[in-house]
Amino acid sequence: MAAHLAVVVLAAGKGTRMRSTLPKVLHRLGGRTILEQVLHNLKGLAHQHCVVVVGYGADRVRAQIDRPDIAFVEQTEQLGTGHAVQQVMPLLMDFSGHVLVLNGDAPLIRPGTLERLVTTHVQSGAEATILTARLADPTGYGRVFLDSEGQVLQVIEHRDCTPEQRLNTLINAGIYCYRWERLAEVLPALKADNDQSELYLPDTLLQLANVAQVEVDDPTEVLGINDRLQLAEASRVLNTRTLERLMRAGVTIVDPASVTVDDTVEVEADVIIEPQTHLRGQTRIAAGCRIGPGTLIEDSLLDTEATVLYSVLHGARVGALSRIGPYAHLRSESVIGKGCRIGNFVEVKKASVGDGSAAAHLSYLGDATLGERVNIGAGTIIANYDGKHKHHTRLGDAVKTGANSVLVAPLSLGDGVNVAAGSTVTEDVSQGLVIARPRQVVKPEWRPSYESS
């Protein structure tokens, strides 16, 4: 491994073929933006500097990648990859060592492949080493031409290749490792002698005496993203890798073809993931949970042996042995304790539910704190909004609400309070039974007016 390594990520392009105002590198896959995934792939690779070259949407890219260990330089005119790296030269003026150059729109490269590239480069003593791959359809990629000893003779961009040269399937992956001192010597001499009038970084290879190459074992690693079709394909590849990693680690995925799991998600062993389940963002699933079928969980935490069936969770926490669903909705800041039951058509928002509590069906719990062993009867809702402000409700331990009750916030019910079915409770109750409904009246002799006539 190099004693001194700098990393340069090229992320200045607009991505016209994405048909979007969003910079291409900020489109998402696997729980991260494309650029964040590229930077994530640097994990384990010791480096002293990381510079991202930005251009289109530079302020948005900087705001998204808000990390103190990353420096940014701006390429105000997108005049090619060579021109982009030229913008980095002032930042690395006093640097001595090796430079790894990556494309910001190629998120599938594995960390181990980058380590192999850098290690091979340093140990070989080459002035430059490039990553290559053989593709069944190399359209759009620059072709790499080798001599009889496997050294790089030339890299020619696809658009500049002759029909015969395009038959070569060995492509330039757009990932390079240079001895920085030599690259800094030849960069200023680049010329735009091509049909795009751009400065191509591969042209520097013609000025170097010893250029090596490392061919990837898995060609999907080098797939770039230029349009929505390629974004979908990259997402599919990354999802397949994630599912394979989880299954090898002891997770059961009943139908991988119908399941998506972000690369950012953590799932422990002995979890069962049923069909049509999607896990996203910063979700963490503890051992023994059963998830799905038909479930979406995003940015949520599930403790051991929790069950979620046909439900949607966003920004929620679920305690051990709790059962969620079917058709429950846990919204942001919902905290469900241990051994709870949140059942059919129950919505929870910004509420804490104590251990052993249950809301089995047809309820809304918003902006509330529920104690332990609370039982919410069918049809109970917390009316937390007065048209302008949200108000809080507190239920003590062992509170029970009858069916079709309305708790009008702000409200506090003490430990053990029972709410009679059909009640609308508007005032605090410290103990006992509250009945807040009209008295039943029966008129056995009553008849409709049209019958009496």
Helix, strand, coil percentages (3-state) for the chain, rounded to 5, are: 20, 35, 45
| Beta pairing, strands 424-425 & 375-376 | unpaired
391 carries an active-site annotation: no
Q: DSSP assignment of 266-321, as one string?
A: EE-TT-EE-SSEEEESS-EE-TT-EE-SSEEEES-EE-TT-EE-S-EEESEEE-TT
Name 101's Cβ contacts closer than 8 Å, sequence gap at least 6: 7, 8, 10, 85, 175, 176, 177, 178, 201
Distance CA 321, CA 307 (A): 7
For the chain, counts of helices (H) and of strands (E): 7, 37
Instruction: Provide the H-helix boundaries in 196-267.
Output: 228-248
- Catalytic-labelled residue, pool 314, 361, 389, 392: 361
Name 186's Cβ contacts closer than 8 Å, sequence gap at least 6: 204, 207, 208
CA proximity to 407, closest of 438, 368, 373: 368
Exposure string over 73-110, b if 16+ CB within 10 A, otherwise e: bebeebbbbbbbbbbbeeebeebebbbbbbbbbbbbbe
Torsions phi, psi for 164 (to 5 deg): -70, -40
Q: Which two tokens stand for residue 288?
A: 């023994």
User: How far is residue 296 from each of residues 36, 273, 315, measured CA to CA in Å?
Assistant: 23, 11, 11
| Helix or strand holding residue 211 (H, E) | strand 211-215
Q: Which two tokens stand for residue 121?
A: 């480069």
Residues labelled catalytic:
361
